[in-house]
Every structure is written in structure tokens, then in C-alpha cells.
Amino acid sequence: MSTHLTEEEQVEALKKWWQENGKSLIVGAVLGLGGIFGWQSWTQHQATQSELASVRFENLHQAARNDQLDAVQKQAQIIQDEHKKHIYSDFAHLDLAKVQADQGDAAGAAQTLQQVADNSGEQAVRLLAQLRLARLKLIQGDAAGAGALLDQLTDNAYRGEVLALRGDIARARGDTQQARRAYADALAANAGNAGLIRMKLDELGGDPDEAEAS
């Protein structure tokens, strides 16, 4: 399965967000827990767990880059068992799904993505998993299923990417006019990987608004 550069950038942005905001989340948790744990012991425990989860995810990510499915599955299971509610567990399973799809296990990839979409505590991650699941369905030839999944994405967090995928779906159905419109709208919405979207649009005859204006 070809994963767009924009999705890698989105995961990196989520990782950066966690690194920048994790401390404040820990502080909030401490305030909520009151006297159950001492401040120092709780923050030290959370920092240690976050660091450990980060190291394990980086090991998994490297294995994913090398398409080492067994290693990715093993590390993902460890992270799931020991850091189930940590965002790195979500990142691990997104990587696992990519390797599964790249190695031809579309059913396994779909199951993994659905798990993230159903269980992640982060809305942005759930949306990203659904977006990848829709793309996987399209790659499998299920344009209707892909479109139905996109219809469920009412959040505008990935609006540009959703529009770009709608263009791919329309193109797969042979609807050139709708595909051109979707690609043009995706570019207007500042979708990632704009160069690829522009190339697809040009292959279909260019921006429909520009054609009408000329």
C-alpha cells in the first residue's frame, strides 16, 4: 500500500504534539489524582513510562521501515501490553498496518486500522486510521466502501486529504469531472502532497474552474 507523505507528516506532528504537551497532561493527571500519589513519584513514573514507550516505538518504526513484519508485530504487542493507553500504542499500530498492507495482508491491515479507529483516545489519530482504512478499501477495489467510510468523517481535521481521496474514488469510477473537482478542492484546502494531487489533476485536464474561465 502506498502511504502518502502527508500521512507520515501527520504522525510526526502528533508525536511532536505529545512531546510538547505530555508534561502538561501529566500535571493535570496529578492534580486530578490529588493525594493518591506524591508529586515527585508520579511525575517520575510517567516520565519513565513515556520514555520507555518512545524508545520501543522508535525500534518498531525502524523495523517498519525495513518491512520486518515479525519484529513490528512483536514490538506492537509489547507496546500494547505495557503502554495500552499511551499514544505510542496508536503510532505502533499505524506502522503495523502499513507493513501488513505492504506485504499483502490487506485483511490484517484493515483489522489493525479498525482497532485504532475504534479505540484511540485521540480524535486526530482515529480520523487518520479511518482515512487510511478508506484508502486501503479503494486499493482493494472497493470504491463504494471507501466512499462510505469517508462519509463518516465529519471532522475537518484532514479535509484536504479526504477531498484528495474522493478524487481518487471518482477517478476509479470513471467520473473524470467529479475527480477534477475533488482534486481542485483538495488543493484549495491545502492538502498535503500537493504536487501529486496537481499531477493527477493535470492528467485529467486541469482545474475545472480554470477551464471554465478560459
Buried b vs exposed e over 175-196: b needs ≥16 C-beta within 10 Å? Answer: eeebbbbbbbbbbeeebbbeee
| pLDDT score at 158 | 84
The domain boundary, picked from 145, 178, 194, lies at 145
Structural domain including 201 reads: 158-214
Q: Which has the closest alpha carbon to 96: 149, 137, 59? A: 59
Cβ atoms of 160 and 191 closer than 8 Å? yes
Using alpha carbons, select from 37, 77, 26, 42 the residue that is nearest to residue 56. 77
Q: In this predicted structure, what is the pLDDT of residue 137?
A: 92
The backbone region for 80, taken as left when phi is positive above 0, alpha when psi lies in -120 to 50, beta otherwise, is alpha
pLDDT mean for each 10 residues of the chain (214 residues) = 46 57 49 48 50 75 81 81 74 86 88 90 86 91 93 83 94 94 94 88 83 46
Residue 39's pLDDT is what? 42
- Does residue 17 sit within a domain? yes
Chosen domain end from 145, 176, 201: 145
**Cβ neighbours around 157 below 10 Å, total:** 15
Residues 49 and 41: their CA atoms lie apart, in Å, by 12
In the prediction, which pLDDT does 78 show?
81
Q: What is the CATH number of the domain that holds 72?
A: 1.25.40.10
Q: Is 104 helix (H, G, I), strand (E, B) or coil?
A: coil
Angle at 88 between CA 84 and CA 93, to 5 degrees: 80
102 & 191 share domain: no
Given this model, what pLDDT does residue 7 score?
A: 54
Q: How far is CA 12 from CA 16, 19, 61, 66, 185, in A?
A: 6, 11, 12, 18, 25
The pLDDT of residue 191 is 85
